[in-house]
Amino acid sequence: MQVEDAIRSRKSVRRFRPDPVPRAQVERILALAAQAPSGANTQPWRVRAVAGPVRDALCRAVVAAAEHEPQRHHAEYGYYPEQWFEPYLERRRTMGFGLYDTLGIARGDRAARERQALRNFQFFDAPVGLLIALDRRMNTGSFLDLGMFIQNLMLAARGEGLHSCPQGVFADYHQVVREQGLLDAGEILVCAVALGFEAPEAPENGLVTERVLVAEFAAFHGFEEPAGG
């Protein structure tokens, strides 16, 4: 697969087929992901790959925590702003409403929304979950390194014919992950990544999120004006 094809075909898949993904394939993907750049070549990423009964036990534990005591669980780092503002608020709403509309969930149907949210903690049925962590002694720059590693991982998955879904919400349940023996005390759980084969018939996998044009987020200085400009 060409790089551009991998980038354009990558999407957040929210329903996977149950087909297993062999360990050797996961190792190949992680080896490619580890080619990502990092400050001073620190390579700060730490990964726990879970499948089979270990994955299932983790999912049961996190789902139970999310159902019965969600107020007790919070990530160890801030992902979103404390107060939303434009243009990010509108982009967030558009994405959320688009997903629920695709699934046929009415905007006032809180129970259905909560059921869909819980599917996060089942890795959307993916057979493999990747828990991405960082040594807590590292600083903010290592989060940049980790982002480049995760993007490499998702593109490498496309090269293997697989899909993925990055899941920041898993970070809220780091205590549960620790209780399962899948995270050290000296680590911050940054996110999880669901990995597997897309279920193409699932309506939620047909959701297409738009990207703003380059002119809306980039400025060019010192370049020659394009012909006719």
User: 58-85, pLDDT tens digit by residue?
Assistant: 999 999 999 999 999 999 999 999 999 9
- How far apart CA 158 and CA 156 sit, in angstroms, is 5
Per the domain annotation, does 105 fall within a domain?
no
Q: Give the pLDDT score at 130.
A: 98
Please name which of 148, 158, 198, 199 lies closest in space to residue 8, comparing C-alpha atoms.
158
pTM score of the predicted model = 0.94
Q: Can you list the residues of the chain whose pLDDT is less than 70?
A: 227-229
Per the domain annotation, does 169 fall within a domain?
yes
Per the domain annotation, does 15 fall within a domain?
yes
* Span 180-210, pLDDT tens digits: 999 999 999 999 999 999 999 999 999 989 9
Domain limits for position 10: 3-78+121-203
Per the domain annotation, does 210 fall within a domain?
no
Q: Give the pLDDT score at 225.
A: 80
CATH number of the domain encompassing residue 167: 3.40.109.10
Per the domain annotation, does 8 fall within a domain?
yes
Per the domain annotation, does 102 fall within a domain?
no
DSSP 103-160: HT--TT-HHHHHHHHHGGGGGGG-SEEEEEEEETTS-HHHHHHHHHHHHHHHHHHHHT
**Cβ count within 10 A of residue 6:** 15
Annotate 198-210 with b (16+ C-beta within 10 A) or e (fewer).
bbeebebbebeee
Per the domain annotation, does 62 fall within a domain?
yes
What's the gap between Cα 25 and its chain centre? 19
Per the domain annotation, does 109 fall within a domain?
no
Q: Give the pLDDT score at 177.
A: 98
| Number of domain units in the chain | 1
Strand pairing report for 45-51 and 128-135: antiparallel
The residue assigned the tokens 């957040």 is 12
